[in-house]
């Protein structure tokens, strides 16, 4: 039960939603799917006066073109899974949606953009968007603004949203790529302890051009170019050496009730290697 007296706003124009956010600032929150906001309100974790509901603004379509996929702010995980296979690297969004924490209830209500805006380190979406070089589309009092996903995620639960701004959607280039995704979790319905998204060029052999983005291991996604670790033949070093190198790339690891930071640092290399292997196996 939500004990706070809230005023519910359902604007029909984007300018109206922006004006409400700008006026009420920290006393207001955006409601998309509600899978993050509603539980926090129920537990009393946040104290708000206003909720700005996006449902009448649209943003409910996933648009596929020859070169990209645009996902609106109210596109649910279930919507992504029901769509035809996305082209190229954009398929990673559907893979993540298929294993999202929380099961059918979350898949049918939760959204990619909602998870991104909340920026919980122990979730799947931020690292997937960074791995895909996604473009985040924002709209505020100054009009539209677009930034790379890597610049959007600032810290745990902190993103580059300015006063009055809301996230309207994300765009991912549909470039050809070999993809591998791996998520380590305690149980089917638990949040991830660590994730890894490997994106490799379609041409070539082995790990040449491999970039892997780690999630749930630090307060922000960690994007790693493996080029410095490849020998002259494009091969990686031993598993132990690679794991040590990956651990060195992690600053202060994320620590929560699921796992201590020391454990996350220890498993990061293993998770990275499994994502890489999946990317290679897919194209054999």
Domain architecture of the chain: domains with CATH: 7-55 (3.30.43.10), 62-173 (3.30.465.10), 178-281 (3.30.390.50)
- pLDDT band at residue 283 using 50, 70 and 90 as cut-offs: low
Residue 284: pLDDT over 60: no
CA angle 61, 214, 182 (to 5 degrees): 75
pLDDT in tens, 98-120: 888 777 888 888 999 999 999 99
* Residue 217 to residues 51, 58, 205, 232, Cα–Cα distance (Å): 31, 34, 29, 30
Q: What is the model's pLDDT at position 56? A: 93
Residue 105 contacts by C-beta under 8 Å, 6 or more apart in sequence?
none
Whole-prediction pTM value?
0.94
What SS3 class is residue 153?
strand
What is the torsion angle, in degrees rounded to the nearest 10, for the CA atoms of residue 164, residue 165, residue 168 and residue 169?
Answer: -160
- pLDDT band at residue 225 using 50, 70 and 90 as cut-offs: very high
Owner of token pair 């039960």: 1
Q: What is the model's pLDDT at position 31? A: 85
Higher pLDDT: 202 or 219? It is 219
Q: Rounded mean pLDDT of 18-26?
A: 93
Give 258's DSSP letter.
S
Label residues 61-80 b or e (16+ Cβ within 10 Å = b): ebebeeebbbbbbbbbbbbb
Q: What is the model's pLDDT at position 187? A: 78
Q: What is the model's pLDDT at position 190? A: 80
Q: Rounded mean pLDDT of 31-50?
A: 82
Element (H, E) at 62: strand 62-64
pLDDT in tens, 109-164: 899 999 999 999 999 999 999 999 999 999 999 999 999 999 999 999 999 999 99
């Amino acid at each position: 039960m939500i004990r706070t007296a809230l005023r519910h706003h359902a604007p029909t124009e984007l300018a109206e939603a922006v004006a409400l956010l700008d006026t009420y600032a920290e006393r207001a929150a955006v409601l998309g799917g509600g899978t993050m906001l509603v539980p926090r309100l129920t537990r009393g974790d946040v104290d708000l006066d206003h909720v700005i509901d996006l449902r009448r603004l649209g943003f409910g379509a996933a648009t596929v073109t020859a070169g990209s996929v645009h996902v609106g702010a109210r596109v649910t995980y279930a919507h992504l899974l029901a769509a035809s296979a996305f082209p190229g690297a954009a398929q990673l969004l559907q893979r993540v949606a298929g294993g999202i924490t929380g099961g059918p209830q979350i898949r049918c209500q939760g959204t990619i953009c909602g998870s991104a805006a909340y920026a919980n380190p122990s979730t799947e979406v931020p690292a997937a968007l960074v791995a895909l070089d996604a473009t985040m589309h924002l709209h505020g009092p100054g009009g539209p603004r677009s930034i790379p996903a890597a610049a959007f995620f600032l810290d745990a639960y902190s993103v580059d949203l300015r006063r009055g701004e809301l996230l309207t959607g994300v765009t991912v280039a549909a470039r050809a790529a070999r993809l591998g995704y791996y998520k380590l979790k305690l149980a089917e319905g638990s949040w991830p302890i660590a994730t890894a998204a490997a994106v490799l060029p379609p041409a070539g052999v082995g790990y040449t051009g491999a970039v892997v983005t780690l999630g749930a291991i630090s307060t922000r996604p960690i994007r790693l170019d493996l080029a410095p670790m490849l020998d002259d033949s494009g091969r990686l070093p031993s598993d132990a050496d690679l794991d040590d190198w990956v651990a060195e790339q992690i600053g202060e690891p994320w620590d929560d009730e699921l796992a201590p930071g020391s454990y996350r640092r220890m498993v990061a290399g293993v998770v990275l290697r499994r994502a890489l292997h999946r990317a290679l196996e897919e194209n054999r």
